[in-house]
Amino acid sequence: MAGGSSIDVLGQFELHPVLGGLGDALRFSQSPLYMIVAVCLVLAFLYFGMRPAAVVPGRFQAAAEVCYEFIRNMALDTIGPEGAAFFPFIFTLFFFILAGNYLGLLPFSFTFTSHIAVTLALAVMVFLLTVIVSLKVQGFRFFAHFMPAGASMALAPLLIPIEILSFLSRPVSLSIRLFANMVAGHVMFEIFASFVVMLAGFGVVGDVFAIGPIVINMALVALELLVGVLQAYVFAILTCIYLREAVAH
């Protein structure tokens, strides 16, 4: 938002209590509220999309089935036959992130995936799942991955810390990638929207020049629609890759 001559592009990411006094007492902000909204929207989409179960599906049912098959095939193709066990988790993860990304494009809404606390929590959940699955499937052989095959034992003091650091950095890179992309897109929205407001204060000439930022913002919306689904896909496919390594014998 523009305040005087300054532009507060980060104000849109501030958390404020909602639901009045109850929200203030529970520290219930826009972030958990829109998470609940995202879950409800995904459940509604699947419920109304699959409820008819017609032999010849309508458009809504066809969309739900395409989404189901897309995520299922991604899990099976990337992880292998074991991917069927992780399909519900990956499906939920993908659509939760997608709904969060797209909700933020609505006027007066909030993008909870633009908060590092949310994306890091999702990434840590994926990380812990892969570690648990690795230990269950591979046992102590899991720790052998920190020493590259064929490497000289003389290099172990150097290679093992590097491999451990690389492994531990996975949730950091996974969370920052999603967080940074969402923040960058919405900051650009705010900047060009503020330009429109400031130019409108210069009368007819300002209105003419304001067309440029408006067109740019429209293009950014189209770009963010692509980025929103792309980031959800990247998060899901990387989760599949990590799980493939975890179930490898």
Q: Where are the domains of the chain?
A: 2-247
Element (H, E) at 129: helix 116-138
Segment 163-211, tens digit of pLDDT: 899 999 999 999 999 999 999 888 888 888 887 878 877 777 777 777 8
Per-residue pLDDT tens over the stretch 158-168: 888 998 999 99
Amino acid found at 70: F
Q: Bigger pLDDT: 213 or 114?
A: 114
* 3-state DSSP assignment of residue 164: helix
**Tokens read off for 147:** 């020493």
Question: Which of 186, 65, 172, 60 lies closest to 126, judged by CA?
Answer: 172
